[in-house]
Amino acid sequence: MTDRLGFGIDIGGTGMKAAVVDLDSGELTTDRLRIDTPKPAEPDAMARVVVELVRAHGWTGHVGCAFPAIVQHGVVKSAANIDTSWVGVDADALFTKATSQPVTMINDADAAGIAEMRFGAGKGIRGTVLVLTFGTGIGSGLFVGGTLVPNTEFGHVELDGVGAETRAAASARKRDGLSWAEWARRVEKYLRHMELLLSPELFIVGGGVSKRHERWLPKIDIDTEIVPAQMANNSGIIGAALL
């Protein structure tokens, strides 16, 4: 492998995806392989899938892995959207031993943000940028002067007496049977709250709903510029590979 290539894995609640990435362009150089996340999604079971993803690509070298939790120095610190057995696990060490390759873990929203800042909607912007992924929950990646502030977890800020993601995540729209306009009003209230806290220069919104941004983004009226993410479903893989 050349220095221009990296390997990224994006672990989600339903699927684990991986590909080889051209680090100069952000393009995938192989097909993206997806394997269902094992249930229960416990460490040893997920390690076996990681091994399968690495071997299927014939990859040797550093592996970056995006993970839906707070990750500090490779150790998993939260379990809001994963099996509780992960808390306290040194995931770097676990996956490194399983694959016989050096593995570095990162929060999945942080990985998506890295991809957007390098190749997507945040490219060249040096101010404060908040990347938000709307899905089952709300993931966040905060960048100041192009530098990541890791593990922000702004989906859990309190709004209307509850965690914001219980009201404004994409899953809340389906759960509560909301129209796009009704859901957009909830998202707008959340974004206004984040404006007061951070005074960002730009919001970048990702997740599956970003593919339908024309349905709801025009309905949001805030002071800060807000744009859809550009890297789509590959952002976690690309950001992880950049590690």
Average pLDDT, the chain: 95
Residue 3 — very low, low, confident or very high, per pLDDT cuts 50/70/90? low
Query: Using CA atoms, how far apart are residues 119 and 137, in angstroms rounded to an integer?
Result: 24
pLDDT band at 233 (very low <50, low <70, confident <90, very high): confident
Q: What is the mean pLDDT of residues 118-132?
A: 96
Is 52 a residue whose pLDDT tops 60? yes
191-201 tens-digit pLDDT: 999 999 999 99
* Statement: residue 2 has pLDDT above 60: no
Give dist(CA 139, CA 131) in Å, integer.
8
Q: Check whether 74 has a pLDDT greater than 70.
A: yes
Residue with tokens 């942080």: 110
Domains in the chain (CATH in brackets) are: 5-107+236-241 (3.30.420.40), 111-230 (3.30.420.40)
- Please report the pLDDT score of residue 70 as a whole number: 95
Confirm whether pTM is higher than 0.75.
yes
| Nearest-5° Cα angle at 136, 68 to 107 | 15
Mean pLDDT of 144-155: 96
pLDDT of residue 1: 46
Angle between helical axes of 43-56 and 91-99 (0-180°, round to 10): 50
Q: How far apart are CA 240 and CA 64, in angstroms?
A: 4
